[in-house]
Every structure is written in C-alpha cells, then in structure tokens.
Amino acid sequence: MIEFDIFDARADLKRIVKYKAKTLRRIKELKKMRVEWERRQPVVDKELSQLTEEDMDRGWGEAFETEKHILHFSLELSVEDILSKKQQVREYEEEIEDLRIELEDLERDMEECVLNETMEIQSYRDMELNRASTMFADEKAYRVRLQRIRWGTRNVRKRVILRERQGVRTLEKEMLAKRQVEELGVLAFEKKQFVKHKLEQAIENAARSRAKQSEVMLEMKRDAGVSQGFDEAVQRMQAITQELWPNHL
C-alpha cells in the first residue's frame, strides 16, 4: 500500500515540476515579448509622426495606430499575465514542497516497513539457526552414542560383569572343592578311627571266641570295602584340586 502511495506522490511531483517548468518558460517568453513590444513602440510612434497625407490615404496611419493600441494593451496584459504566472509558480512550489514532504514521510514509512520486515526475517533466521544448532547437537550426540555402541563401549562393562561373575563362580567352585576336601579329611579321620576300633574289637572277639572269627572276618571285609570307596573318593578330589590349582600341587 505504501509503495502505491509513493508511486502516486512521485508521479504528482513529476507532473507539478513539469507544469512549473512550463510556466517559467511562459514567463520568460512573455518577458522577451515585452522587450520586443517596448522596442517596437518608439518605432511605431516615429512612423506615425513621419506619415504624409499620401501615406494616410493609403491606410498606413490607421495600421500604425492599430499596432500602437495593440502594443499598449499587450504590454498591460502581459504584466497581468506575468504576475498570474508567477503566482501560479509559487503555488506550484508550495505543492511541490508538500509533495516532497509527503514523499519523505512515505519513504520513511517504507524504510520502517523494510526495517521491520528485515527484523522479522532476522528473527526468523535466528530461530532457524537455533533450531539447526539444536538439531546439529542432537545429531552429534546421537552419532556419538551410535559410535560408542559400535565400538563396544558398553560391552566392556558387560565383559567386566561377566569376568566378575566367572570369578565368583570360580571362587564358589574353589570353596566347594576346599569344603569337600575338608569334609573328606574329617571323614577319613572318622573312618580310620572307626576301622581301628573295629579291628581292635575284632581281634578282641577273635581272642575270646573262635566261633566268632567268621563274623569278624566278614565285618573286616565290609570295612575294607568302605575304606576302598573312601580312597577312591579321595583320589577323585585330588584330581579336581589338581585341575583347579595345577601350580600349587
């Protein structure tokens, strides 16, 4: 809307300036004509004074009189015409000044509109830059996370946990094997005491009664079977212990 007003104001200003220039040219022409008329007046007066009766009969007197009246009235009318043209020029100048002021106001309004539009564009640009910066930061963080996942950063923790779990299992196995060895040691001592007691009792019974010898021998065989099973269990535990601590045996 302001652009159309500026266009109209400039067109009016151009038109008024053109009218002013045309009026000034007309004033200049009138002044030039006045000079010629003023120069012509003495010539006409001289010609009238030098006319003879013969020239008067031929009509030269009437012609010069008519020209003299025309010059006189033309000079008077030219004065009024010049004054009116000058007044018109002053009006044109006032109108031109008003149009220039109006045009300056419109151009100022246009500059403000352009400035506001530029500020809006700058604000939108800043907003887009901030959004792009945020998107870039998010994308960078995503790519960093993706790179960490790709290079197995989290798997290191899993391996540490797995090693810790394997260490716990190994420790549990070692504790179990140690406890079994201790239990077997206690069992071996008890079995030895039991076998010793049985042997002593068998010998004592054999001395008392030969009739009970077969029973004592049977008991000894059974005890021998138990001792053999115990020895086999001890050998298995030693094999397990050797597998767990090959450098300590």
pLDDT tens digits along 180-218: 656 555 555 555 566 556 656 655 665 565 555 555 556
pLDDT for residue 249: 47
Q: How far is CA 239 from the centre of its chain?
A: 71
pLDDT, tens only, 151-172: 854 455 555 555 666 666 676 6
Cβ(181)–Cβ(237) under 8 Å? Answer: yes
> Cα–Cα distances in Å, from 25 out to 35, 113, 143, 165?
15, 41, 80, 111
pLDDT, tens only, 50-84: 888 887 778 888 888 888 899 889 998 999 999 99
Residue type, 225: G
Closest CA to 229 of 191, 179, 175: 191
pLDDT at 16 over 90: yes
- pLDDT bin (cut points 50, 70, 90) of residue 245 is low
Largest Cα–Cα distance of the chain, in whole Å?
218
What 8-state DSSP symbol labels residue 248?
A: -
pLDDT for residue 163: 62
pLDDT at 248 over 50: no
Phi, psi at 248, each rounded to 5°: -105, 0
Cβ(178)–Cβ(244) under 8 Å? Answer: no
- 187 HSE (CA, 13 A, CB side): 13
pLDDT for residue 149: 81
For the record, the structure tokens of 17 come out as 């300036």
pLDDT for residue 184: 54
Closest CA to 177 of 92, 248, 225: 248
